[in-house]
Amino acid sequence: SNKSMTSDRNTYVGKRFVHVKNPYLDSMDEDILYHLDLGTKTHNLPAMFGDVKFVCVGGSPNRMKAFALFMRKELGLEESGEHIKDICAGTDRYCMYKIGPVLSISHGMGIPSISIMLHELIKLLHHAQCCDITIIRIGTSGGIGITPGSVVITDTAVDSFFKPRFEQVILDNIVTRSTELDKELAEELFNCSKGIPNFPTLIGHTMCTYDFYEGQGRLDGALCSFSREKKVDYLKRAYKAGVRNIEMESTVFAAMCRLCGLKAAVVCVTLLDRLECDQINLPHDVLVDYQQRPQLLISNFIKRRLGLH
Ligand code: R2B
Ligand code: URA
């Protein structure tokens, strides 16, 4: 890889390009990123995305639009004619906004949805020849034994058995991939959180499940075949294993970003304490405030990285 001087760290490091690990890609004459409504022949991807350094992903299209508008204000790009339009407007699967070096993209709910988006996003970053990318998932989650509204920065994503792995079914095999995240990045984000008043933040394991109800030990789904005691016992064992929150995308996100050489982090606010309840009954304004917390942390982080702080 290219050798270059990074001004902020004052050390020689190679530029980190995005690795795609697929021998067939190079021989394709055109690559259509179907769910993003973009393609290598229809769009000049290096011109559109070559300067991207920060990629922020989150489940809800509206929240990722709100994040884009917030970043535009925070980066002082409101007056510069930098307007906000959905780059993926030709599809209603995902939305995407670009604000200077920041890309904001929605991924929907659950592992299959984020996985499809990540395949196409990672190829997009590769085709655009992006380098030194930091990618962060900002989301919501259920806390375990912590005050609702707390922000959890994930050190390791674990599965329902509290193991740091993601099992991908490929043909009729199960391929196990590591879900470790970038520890330095997690620390850097944690340090940023200390600069924000009234901002409870911690680093811990995040459990990723395939379902919101039975898969997270809820007693309030359409189906439930276990007792309250079994639920509480499971969540307490999760807590003992280091799990502080539960969501539905972190393992595949960690695994794919790791394999493709992207520095990745997961930052989720907790909406409830699962040891206390299952239903999310926060007043609308409190919910809005909580959902803004990961956005606020990431905007502070990006501004610091860009030297705007
Ligand atoms: C967190 O919130 C969503 C479920 O409500 C899911 O996408 C997740 O990971
Ligand atoms: N998202 C989840 O996946 N679980 C919760 O309990 C809350 C938000």
Pairwise CA distance, residues 275 & 64, whole Å? 29
Amino acid identity, position 95? C
Pairwise CA distance, residues 137 & 121, whole Å? 13
271 Cβ inside 6 Å of ligand 2:
yes
In the prediction, which pLDDT does 14 show? 80
**Span 268-277, mean pLDDT?**
98
Residue given tokens 């259509």 in the structure block: 32
Pairwise CA distance, residues 22 & 275, whole Å? 43
Sign of the CA dihedral 103, 255, 248, 92? positive
Give the closest residue (by CA) to ligand 2 atom 6: 142
Which atom of ligand 2 is least distant from the CA of 218? 6
Residues above pLDDT 70, as percent of the chain = 96
- Pick the ligand that lies closest to the CA of residue 63: 1
In the prediction, which pLDDT does 10 show? 47
Q: Which of 115, 249, 271 to mutate to test the pocket of ligand 1 (most atoms within 8 A of CB)?
A: 249
Which atom of ligand 1 is least distant from the CA of 109? 7
In the prediction, which pLDDT does 7 show? 44
Dmax of the chain from CA atoms? 58
Give the pLDDT confidence of 246-268 residue by residue, as tens digits: 999 999 999 999 999 999 999 99
Q: Which residues contact 236 (CB under 8 A, 6 or more apart)?
A: 275
142 Cβ inside 6 Å of ligand 2:
yes
Amino acid identity, position 86? D
Mean pLDDT taken over the chain = 95
**Span 82-101, mean pLDDT?**
95
Q: Which of 160, 271, 278 to mutate to test the pocket of ligand 2 (most atoms within 8 A of CB)?
A: 271
**Span 291-309, mean pLDDT?**
97
Distance 255 CA to ligand 1 centre (A): 18
In the prediction, which pLDDT does 2 show? 42
In the prediction, which pLDDT does 13 show? 67
How many CB atoms sit inside 10 A of residue 197's CB?
A: 5
